[in-house]
Amino acid sequence: MKQGVSVKGMKELNQQLEALGKDAKQALSMAMMQSAQDVANEADELVPVDEGILRASQDVKPKGMFTNRPNVTISYGGPSAPYALVQHERTDYEHPGGGQAKYLEEPFNKETARWPYPLIERIKNASRFF
């Protein structure tokens, strides 16, 4: 049987997840990965393209999954991270092959602008508790 949960912010979300235990941690981890993958997918559409090397360098790396504080890192560039950073930050650069500056920041801000509510919905979809 599903139980009702009322959450008003990230602090309350963490408290509810802690009370629900291991399955809730799994649901949170799944929700975080889904959020990160959506950000990464949108970023791939915005990353500047010359030869496609920067786009191909995207790395999505989960850490601390199934704990109270899972996180996911999305990065570009690998060994060429300084190049990726310049492409991300220099809003004055033109990108004739497509793409734009702030290619990772914009999707991240869009995804997290209304948190915790979208994250809560993802947790609900991943959990049998909500």
Q: What pLDDT shows up at residue 61? A: 95
pLDDT of residue 2: 43
Residue the block writes with tokens 């060994």: 79
| pLDDT in 10s for each residue of the chain, 130 residues | 344 556 667 777 677 767 766 777 888 889 999 999 999 999 999 999 988 899 999 999 999 888 778 899 999 999 999 999 999 999 999 999 999 999 999 999 999 998 888 888 888 887 765 5
| Residues 116/15, Cβ–Cβ less than 8 Å | no
One-letter amino acid at 117 equals Y
Q: Which two tokens stand for residue 19?
A: 């009370």
Task: State the number of CA atoms in the 13 A half-sphere of 113 facing the CB.
Answer: 7
At 44, give phi and psi (nearest 5°): -60, -30
> What pLDDT does 72 receive?
94
Domain boundaries, the chain: 10-125
DSSP sequence for 37-85: HHHHHHHHHHS--SSSHHHHT-EEEEESTTSSS-EEEEE--GGGHHHHH
Buried b (16+ CB within 10 A) or exposed e, 57-67: bbeeeeeeeee
Residues in the chain: 130
Q: What is the pLDDT of residue 83?
A: 94
pLDDT given for residue 1 in this prediction: 33
